[in-house]
Amino acid sequence: MSRTPMALLSPADQERLRGLRRMKAVALGALILMAALFVVAFWLRDQHPWLEYVRAAAEGGMVGALADWFAVTALFRRPLGLPIPHTAIIPNRKDEIGRTLGEFVETNFLSGDVVRAKLSTAAVSRRFGEWLREPAHAERVAAEASTVASAVLRALSDDDVQDLIADLAREHLVEPDWAPSAGGWLQRIVEADAHRGAVDLAVDSIAGWLDANAHTFSGLVSRRLPGWVPKLAHRFVDETVYHEAVRFVAAVQADPQHPARLALDGYLGRLAEGLQHDPAVRDRFEGAKSALFDSPRVIALAAQAWETAKTGMLNALADPQSGLRRRAASALSEIGERLASEPALQARVDGWVTDAAVFLVDRYRHDIASIITDTVEKWDAAETTEKIELMVGRDLQYIRLNGTVVGAMAGLAIFAVAHALIPGI
């Protein structure tokens, strides 16, 4: 009988306990009935000889009931508390039972052939696709994935992420020597005249700025003239400088072979050559690159970028109506539709799932089965006995009841045969 208070048991265990108690009462009632029949038959056998048959049946029923009571009780505890060998089997051999159960599961269930045979007929991808293509299910998966992703983002330390970004940037951006590669790219750009578009854009931008900012030339040069120069000359000098700048830029715009353009081409070509072959130029370039990445402003900008990205991701993941969540749910629904309707895709996915499951089972079957062994070993012997008795004890009480009936029939049959074959009995 369970020693755990009824209130501490789960509803399912409470129902099992009530069923176990009922069956124990029935089995005990059958034994008491056999004992009462035996007493009555033994007492009245001289007046009614036919009661010998009843006595024999009752005697056999009592023997069968007691024998099966002993057998069932010996599984869980010592009958009547007596130290009889090979009793209290479950509490005494709990660890061995756990190991045997683990070996049984490992051998008969955690087998690559068993898993492959089961999954080959399960149509996993098609069933999953039919379930996933429903918009409500796709939204549910997207919501669960968003919850997990949000938890991961919140668990990440901002300092650790920034340090990781800095380490990755230093490993892949700062430490590698960019100069030869940059020089090679620049050389190919110049040789292909691919830089002309950028030059045109720069010249056009300068022309537009000059057109909109003529006032900035007021005093640009004239303030540096001697004080005795008339004010009229100051204005003339500033306007002359402005108009010359405008004419120069216009000339550069109009002439693809303008000396300024050719000078820029020559400079870019020399820069490309220096980046590839001149150690001094390469050192200056790498120094400028390192100074840029190590700049406090760049570091602060990277930290701010991470904070902004993290906040944006968390907000998008938390909002069911965000574009991210809607696109994720739509993509999942489309994946489900394809899995449900494309046999070729189903075959590939089923193959991947089966191969992955077989690999995991073959590689970790012992570790998986050891969960059973280790769990049973950690259980208290009395607790283990209670758990098992609640699960199977009710069915075992039928053994006692059946033993009573079979014993009675056997006793009656033996007495009847003996009475028929041996005179005087």
List, as one string, the DSSP characters of 143-199: HHHHHHHHHHHHHS-HHHHHHHHHHHHIIIIISS--HHHHHHHHHHHHHTTTTHHHH
Digit-coded pLDDT (tens) for 323-349: 888 999 999 999 999 989 999 998 999
Question: Is residue 307 domain-shared with residue 222, that is, in the same domain?
Answer: yes
Q: How close are the terminal C-alpha atoms of the chain, in Å?
A: 44
In a domain, 104, yes or no: no
Going by pLDDT thresholds of 50, 70 and 90, the confidence category of residue 229 is: low
In a domain, 343, yes or no: no
Tokens 């955690």 belong to residue: 110
Residues 6+ apart with CB under 8 A from 88: 74, 76, 77, 78
In a domain, 111, yes or no: no
In a domain, 406, yes or no: yes
Question: Is residue 305 domain-shared with residue 401, that is, in the same domain?
Answer: no
Question: Is residue 280 domain-shared with residue 395, that is, in the same domain?
Answer: no
In a domain, 354, yes or no: no
In a domain, 50, yes or no: yes
| pLDDT at residue 227, rounded to an integer | 58
> Of 271, 293, 311, which closes a domain?
311
Question: Is residue 86 domain-shared with residue 167, that is, in the same domain?
Answer: no
Closest CA to 103 of 421, 391, 296, 373: 373
In a domain, 146, yes or no: no
Domain coverage including residue 302: 158-311
220/113: higher pLDDT? 113
Task: Indicate the pTM of the whole model.
Answer: 0.53
> Of 252, 285, 311, which closes a domain?
311
> Of 282, 311, 340, which closes a domain?
311
Question: Is residue 85 domain-shared with residue 162, that is, in the same domain?
Answer: no
Would you say residue 6 has pLDDT above 60?
A: no
Question: Is residue 297 domain-shared with residue 169, that is, in the same domain?
Answer: yes
Counting the structural domains of the chain, the total is: 2
| pLDDT at residue 195, rounded to an integer | 80
Question: Is residue 306 domain-shared with residue 172, that is, in the same domain?
Answer: yes
Question: Is residue 195 domain-shared with residue 53, that is, in the same domain?
Answer: no
| pLDDT at residue 141, rounded to an integer | 92
Question: Is residue 171 domain-shared with residue 272, that is, in the same domain?
Answer: yes
In a domain, 272, yes or no: yes
Question: Is residue 207 domain-shared with residue 289, that is, in the same domain?
Answer: yes
Question: Is residue 162 domain-shared with residue 293, that is, in the same domain?
Answer: yes
